[in-house]
């Protein structure tokens, strides 16, 4: 059985997305709703990889959009378990903006998502690790 820290480290998830015009708004930057969907998805994957149980999003807390992410760039989403409760996990998601043709990289957004483990009746259950 893994230690808690080992399990957290093994569940860190990286996802990389190219910012194409179909994901941008009228300012030619990443649409906030798309960013939130991607952040929730990578957080869900991390929660599931950590717990190996059925997990559902119950809240997102303070998502900060620090920099616009323009079309023609790359976004790397990194999700990590930041807190383990009895039936819940807090997942911190950071999104980094990278230029396609240089090594420039900066944090564009971050947020925290809460997930709860559920049983077959959609009732909260203890997270086992």
Record the tokens describing residue 71, joined without a space: 């079309």
The whole-number average pLDDT for the span 58-83 is 96
What CATH number does domain 4-117 carry, 3.40.190.10, 3.10.129.10, 3.30.160.270, 3.20.20.80? Answer: 3.10.129.10
Q: Does position 129 have pLDDT exceeding 90, yes or no?
A: no
The whole-number average pLDDT for the span 23-29 is 97
What dihedral angle (degrees, nearest 10) is formed by the CA atoms of 2, 116, 90, 67?
A: 130
Q: What is the mean pLDDT of the chain?
A: 96
**pLDDT tens, 105-125?**
999 999 999 999 999 999 999
The whole-number average pLDDT for the span 97-109 is 96
Task: Give the integer Cα–Cα distance in Å for 64 and 43.
Answer: 16
pLDDT of residue 128: 84
Q: Does position 2 have pLDDT exceeding 70, yes or no?
A: yes
Q: Does position 1 have pLDDT exceeding 80, yes or no?
A: no
pLDDT of residue 124: 97
**pLDDT tens, 74-95?**
999 999 999 999 999 999 999 9
């Amino acid at each position: 059985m893994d230690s808690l820290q080992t399990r957290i480290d093994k569940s860190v998830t990286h996802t990389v997305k190219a910012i194409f015009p179909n994901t941008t708004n009228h300012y030619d930057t990443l649409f906030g709703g798309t960013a939130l969907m991607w952040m929730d998805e990578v957080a869900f994957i991390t929660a599931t990889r950590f717990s190996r149980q059925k997990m559902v999003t119950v809240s997102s807390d303070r998502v900060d959009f620090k920099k616009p992410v323009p079309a023609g760039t790359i976004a790397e989403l990194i999700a990590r378990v930041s807190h383990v409760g009895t039936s819940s996990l807090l997942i911190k998601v950071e999104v980094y903006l990278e230029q396609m043709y240089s090594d420039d990289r900066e944090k564009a957004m971050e947020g925290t998502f809460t997930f709860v483990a559920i049983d077959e009746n959609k009732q909260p259950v203890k997270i086992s690790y």
